[in-house]
Structure 1
Amino acid sequence: MPVLSAVLAAALVATPPCVEPPADPSNTYDVPHTYEKLVREFPFIQIASDALPDGVTKLADQVYAQYGARCLKLDAYLPAGERLPVVVFVHGGGWKAGFRSEFVPMALRLTQRGYAAVTVSYRLSGEAPYPAAVQDVQQAVRWVRAHARQLHIDPQRIVLAGGSAGGQIAALAGVTGKDGAEVQAIINIDGLSDFTSELALKYEDDPKKNPSSAGAWFGGRYADQPARWREASPIRYVRAGMPPILFIGSAQPRFSAGREQMMAQMTQLGVASDKLLLPDTPHSFWLFDPWLQPTVEASVAFLRRQLP
């Protein structure tokens, strides 16, 4: 694929004036802070590189949605090729924090395996409650599909992937996508599948947290907003013909809530699913080597099986 011309880049970014909100100093779910928390227990870890490989074009700060003067942006990472499959990444951060840069290292490693990749920002819970983030991610998928020709990607091979809260959002957006937001596969990395399970409620509805991260996103505890807690659980949407899902999990059981039950239901309906569990790993393992590479390898193997 030729390098995107200045004319094409300008055409893609041509939008009415809009801004992103200023950086929130309380938003500390990022790679440096996470590394500081984990390196004492895991002294062998290294922050995965985000250096742009040769032959990969970065198309930064594309506005995919706008609410008044508020912009939502994404970055595209495009290797050489035509009609490439594309993976759209959704960052984590407890629905209240995080940055799209979280998934740049994984995105770049996928570009070296023949995939285009996109990292997206979305409205966090402090700005807009559920289901805004899910709707934003679905709108990002629509934008990617609408710009398939310019980006040299295949509009019929779009994948949603995410980690932690982003894994849950990606799964929910993927299993409920319609009107151009349909995807052909999902990769859920340590994201919840059932908010109403006993395991999820133990942590996500903890009365000592007022509110919990999930409670802040839903606008109330489970007893106050049971319909939202159920509606946001990807397991509620298992059906024949849904996208296949790869689950990649840490050694922290908290984040597997609903996974086994969802996989069992999918199997009964003939829907493909697979999982990779990485032993002795913390949450947010995908930010670091040596754990990122097996995450990438499992993702590539799954996508090669599932995408035509």
Structure 2
Amino acid sequence: MARHVPTGGLAETLDIAYGDEGARTRLDVFSPEPADGALPTVVWIHGGAWISGDKVDVRPYVRRLAHEGFTTIAVSYPLAPERTYPASVTSLNAALGHVLEHADELRVDPSRIVVAGDSAGANLTSQLATAVTNRGYAEETGLQPALTPAQLRGVVLNCGIYDVSSVPEAPGLGGWGFRIALWAYLGRRVGRGSPGGQLLAAHEMSTLEQVTADFPATWISGGNGDPLTTRQSKALAARLERLGVDCTAVFYADDVEPALPHEYQFHLDLPAARDAYGSTLSFLRRVLR
């Protein structure tokens, strides 16, 4: 991604601590220069199947977005197997609380925030947004949302998982990998005969049936070569549209070549990825105006 990012012109503050778990509870902040005052803000949650990844992975992408006139924040969070559900989502909620508490110094407009994520980060983003907009879900999960519905103007969901129950049937090598990662995050396999605690955790991670008509404006996409797209991203987009949620869905015909893989949006040499970036930018400008 780096060669697609303009050089210079940004203020950067890296590795800000928002928690006490070392590098796993740090965030990076980027904003355009010269400028003063708060800006609409995009908080990005990286992917990595709940077991890997780091905020460093998405720095080029969020830097590019910062050049468009936003404050952008990339967040790291605790990973499995050292930390299991709900450590990641709880930590990310704390990160959002830290951002609000330090909004002035970080150049964050607390009334104009979008939370974005890719892959497992999209799953975590959907959990946070569901807790913000569905009081019953927040009570069930024990999550006290840092953001209010008025502050959370939208979400960006790339190549995510929103129905954990379908992961055991996901096809191919990619499906196998997600099964292993999910078992690591939940502490053991989920399937018939799983202990109640693991089944409850899988239910709480599955936002597909827990989103409501109050879910924030959503931009959602998945590649035609991604084994998760049909049963995850397309299924959530369809549900949001049925609920009347403002939903911008970007999908591709099965015969598009080259087939667009999981996390295609970061392959900015591909025309489809550049088009997705443009669509994302239009969405952000609209919901954050």
TM-score normalised by structure 2 residue count = 0.80
Distance 1:266 1:275 in 2: 10
Asked if the contact 2:16–2:28 (Cα under 8 Å) also holds between the matched residues in 1, the reply is yes
Q: Are 1:267 and 2:241 counterparts?
A: yes
Q: Which residue of 2 is the match for residue 72 of structure 1?
A: 25
Q: Which amino acid aligns with 2:156?
A: I
Distance 1:282 1:289, change over 3 A: same
Q: Percent identity?
A: 27
Asked if the contact 1:76–1:118 (Cα under 8 Å) also holds between the matched residues in 2, the reply is yes
Distance 2:24 2:214 in 1: 34
What is the deviation of 1:211? 6.6
Q: Are 1:180 and 2:146 counterparts?
A: yes
Q: Which residue of 2 is the match for residue 221 of structure 1?
A: 189
Deviates more, 1:112-121 or 1:216-225: 216-225
Which consecutive residues of structure 2, in runs of 5 or more, have no partner in the other structure? 133-143
Q: Which amino acid aligns with 1:284?
A: E
Distance 2:234 2:145 in 1: 29
CA deviation map 1:88-144 (0-9, x unaligned): 111111111112111111111111211111111100012210111111111111111
What is the deviation of 1:51? 6.2
Distance 1:253 1:294, change over 3 A: same
Distance 1:73 1:194 in 2: 28
Distance 1:294 1:48 in 2: 17
Asked if the contact 1:163–1:189 (Cα under 8 Å) also holds between the matched residues in 2, the reply is yes
Where do residues 139-178 of structure 1 align in structure 2 (5 Å cutoff)? 139-177=94-132, 178=144
SS of residue paired to 2:121: helix
Q: Which residue of 2 is the match for residue 294 of structure 1?
A: 275
Q: Are 1:194 and 2:196 counterparts?
A: no
Distance 2:156 2:29 in 1: 18
What is the deviation of 1:285? 2.2
Asked if the contact 1:107–1:117 (Cα under 8 Å) also holds between the matched residues in 2, the reply is yes
SS of residue paired to 1:274: strand
SS of residue paired to 1:230: helix
Q: Are 1:283 and 2:262 counterparts?
A: yes
Distance 1:303 1:211 in 2: 32
Distance 1:53 1:187 in 2: 25
Distance 1:52 1:121, change over 3 A: farther
CA deviation map 1:120-172 (0-9, x unaligned): 11000122101111111111111111111112221011111111111111221
What is the deviation of 1:212? 1.2
Give the RMSD, CA atoms, in angstroms. 2.6
Distance 2:189 2:59 in 1: 33
Distance 2:127 2:75 in 1: 16
SS of residue paired to 1:187: strand
CA deviation map 1:24-54 (0-9, x unaligned): xxxxxxxxxxxxxxxxxxxxxxx43386732
Asked if the contact 2:23–2:76 (Cα under 8 Å) also holds between the matched residues in 1, the reply is no
Aligned partner (choices 250, 255, 258) of residue 223 of structure 2: 250
Distance 1:171 1:195, change over 3 A: same
SS of residue paired to 2:165: coil
Q: Which residue of 2 is the match for residue 240 of structure 1?
A: 213
Asked if the contact 1:170–1:188 (Cα under 8 Å) also holds between the matched residues in 2, the reply is yes
Q: Which runs of 4+ in 1 moved over 3 A?
A: 47-53, 206-211
Distance 2:177 2:247 in 1: 34
Asked if the contact 2:12–2:30 (Cα under 8 Å) also holds between the matched residues in 1, the reply is yes
SS of residue paired to 2:188: coil
CA deviation map 1:250-282 (0-9, x unaligned): 123422233333223322332111111254212
Distance 1:103 1:233, change over 3 A: same
What is the deviation of 1:56? 0.7
How many equivalent residue pairs?
Answer: 259
Distance 2:190 2:25 in 1: 29
Q: Are 1:305 and 2:289 counterparts?
A: no
Asked if the contact 1:188–1:246 (Cα under 8 Å) also holds between the matched residues in 2, the reply is yes
Asked if the contact 1:50–1:104 (Cα under 8 Å) also holds between the matched residues in 2, the reply is no
Which consecutive residues of structure 1, in runs of 5 or more, have no partner in the other structure? 1-46
Distance 1:284 1:211, change over 3 A: closer
Aligned partner (choices 57, 70, 83) of residue 102 of structure 1: 57
Deviates more, 1:91-100 or 1:264-273: 264-273
